[in-house]
A and B are shown apart, each in its own frame.
Chain A
Amino acid sequence: MLQTALTEPTRPSQPGYRDSASDIPMAAATEAHALFVLDKLEVFYGSFRAVRDVTLQIHANEITAFIGPSGCGKTTVLRCLNRMNDLIPGARVGGTIAYHGIDLYGDEVSATEVRRRIGMVFQKPNPFPKSIYENIAYGPRINGVRDRGKLDQIVEKSLRAAALWDEVKDRLHGSALAMSGGQQQRLCIARTIAVEPEVVLMDEPCSALDPIATARIEELMRELKRTYTIVIVTHNMQQAARVSDRTAFFTAELDPKAERRTGVLVEYDTTSRIFSNPRDERTENYITGRFG
């Protein structure tokens, strides 16, 4: 179990809290709301080191984007943040990830409890083959909500938050699989926020969607960051530039020992800085399209 200090997460409640990245005073923001502190994180799959030396901080109520070419370990790092990597046989983590100052991979920490607080939206929309209602109610149910009225409330609230309510309110008990891809992905977001997590991790949430559906999800993300902290992995640089407050650029480097490519964090800064004035040449090459 996470310590009880974590049961009441501190969330800045004023709406519109820090809307644009450019006005973050760098030094002040670094420590102020560091929700996750990653220190020299490395991840192994068996003997293969997939990613190494990731040191960064993720801030509350911001959208943090992980960008980089395929195989650079950005999804791997994302999946460490709610211990989804535990499910992959042979996955091993080095370095530390502190969440509210608690070591996520500490002996006392339950992965289940971590995932309850840190939700995840996947690349491919993955609704359960149940009704729309049951999809949303699943999370609250496993967390002990039995009361029908309460569940109805949660379902409506979550669907409204995911800007889906008006489209589906008349067919809540119809199959979720009958929805369009964009609707399914918003349903997955609604399902995630129905358990009231503190953080929502998104692993390329728009890669299977068309531009219109993508625009809706991006709009939704901007709404959601008032309440939640969002970390998104994306292949789409424009998307990172559009929605995120901070951007981490990863790349894959040839590991001289293993003869395999290992992901490294190249640069992490405010999004405006990464896209206008990157410090590392590799970042510049990537964002200008000369590489990757």
Chain B
Amino acid sequence: MRHPGDPILAISLEPKLSWRTIKSFVMSGLMIAAFVAITIPLVLIIYSLVARGAPVALKAFPDFFTAAIPIVSRRSGPGMGPAIVGTLLCTGGATLIAVPLGILGAVYLHEYGKMSAFARLVRFMAMVMTGVPSIVMGLFVYVLWTMRFGYSAFGGALALACLMLPIVIGATEQMLRLVPDHMREAAYALGATKSRVILTVVLPAALPGILSGCLLAVARAAGETAPLLFTIGAATAYNPHLFENANTALSVQIFGNATSSFAAAQERAWGAALTLVVLTFLLTLVARIVAARFAAKR
């Protein structure tokens, strides 16, 4: 034992090679390996998309993004213009339907219904809806809408909205749960009504998270093919009308062209795939910037 005043013996602050440090080292190594492993597919996807899609899209720039789709698919050359418009129409329409409904639904579930029987049923149904295959959503809308009103981008929007709805509800409810109760209490203590508290405190605080959830849903919907197959029909020319006539979408074009036996069509599929990814990326970017601006203002 050392007494006060004794000379301090030489100490070492260098790490000792104990079981604990070895374990820490191994675990860190495993985590890095896992990160690398999940990055590989992502890098490969982006690499092959750019390597095979970029030449197609840039060779005929900007025609690839503006020209109509060749009616005869073995003919080489641009473009994907109508498909881009179709994707924007379907996804945009679906967003306009699913995001307000989903957010309102989640607000009901978390702020009003809570653990009541009805809220629990709705929550359960939303969960089940998440697991419904997208092609079933397509069939559902086909029976409900398309058989009566014919092919249109709106039918596709409806099918995609069914797909987005449970994602938006789930993400929003999760975010509302993260808003601390003391913030609600602060507003109540100032004499705010419940609706006021939700509108002015809870939703603004949860907004960045809600936006992320919605973007995830939009990105998911933009890439869906199956629900569009029987709801929007097929088209090669521009159709900017939401409610009239058959339309097309990038995902549908990718599917059709990639399964074609003609090299020219397969090339267009690569180009369309790259276009879809870039489109989704741009959308995410814009939404993030808007959200950051909004957050800074508050």
Contact = CB atoms under 8 A, between A and B. Distances in A.
Interface of A: 82, 84, 87, 89, 112-113, 115-117, 119-120, 122, 124, 126-131, 134, 138-139, 142-143, 188, 191-192, 195
Contacts of B147: none
B190 interface: yes
Nearest to A129: B205
B106 to A, nearest CB: 19
A139 B183 contact: no
Contact of B190 (A89, A113, A119, A129): A119
Contact of A116 (B182, B183, B191): B191
Given A129-B205, A130-B298, A131-B298, A138 B182 contact: no
Contact of B200 (A87, A127, A138, A195): A138
Interface string B203-214: 011000000000
A124 B147 CA distance: 59
B190 A191 contact: yes
B193 interface: yes
Interface in B172-196: 180, 182-193, 196
Contact of B189 (A84, A124, A130): A84
A126 B180 CA distance: 10
Contacts of B114: 89
A146 to B, nearest CB: 14
A142 B187 CA distance: 10
B187 A122 contact: no
A259 to B, nearest CB: 27
Nearest to B184: A87
A89 B113 CA distance: 12
B201 interface: yes
A138 B187 contact: yes
A192 B196 CA distance: 17
A126 B185 contact: yes
Contacts of B196: 142
Interchain residue pairs A-B with the least CB separation, the first 7? A116-B191, A120-B189, A139-B190, A126-B182, A126-B186, A115-B191, A142-B192
Contacts of A113: 191
B192 A128 contact: no
Nearest to B186: A126
B185 A195 contact: no
Contacts of B189: 82, 84, 115, 119-120, 122, 192
B238 to A, nearest CB: 45
Given A120-B189, A128-B205, 9 more contacts: A84-B188, A115-B191, A119-B189, A122-B186, A128-B186, A130-B204, A142-B192, A142-B193, A195-B191
18 contacts: A84-B185, A89-B114, A112-B193, A115-B188, A117-B191, A122-B185, A122-B186, A126-B182, A128-B186, A129-B298, A130-B298, A142-B187, A142-B193, A188-B186, A191-B186, A192-B190, A195-B190, A195-B191
A122 B184 CA distance: 12
B201 A128 contact: yes
Contacts of B184: 87
Contact of B191 (A126, A131, A143, A188): A143
A215 to B, nearest CB: 24
Contacts of B298: 129-131, 134
Contact of A87 (B180, B188, B190, B205): B188
B222 to A, nearest CB: 31
Contacts of A139: 190-191
Contact of A122 (B182, B192, B200, B205): B182
Contacts of A143: 191
B242 to A, nearest CB: 38
A116 B190 contact: yes
Contacts of B182: 122, 124, 126
Contacts of B201: 128
A186 to B, nearest CB: 14
Contact of A112 (B180, B192, B200, B204): B192
A115 B187 CA distance: 10
- Among B114, B184, B187, chain A packs the most CB atoms within 10 A around the CB of B187
Contacts of A195: 190-191
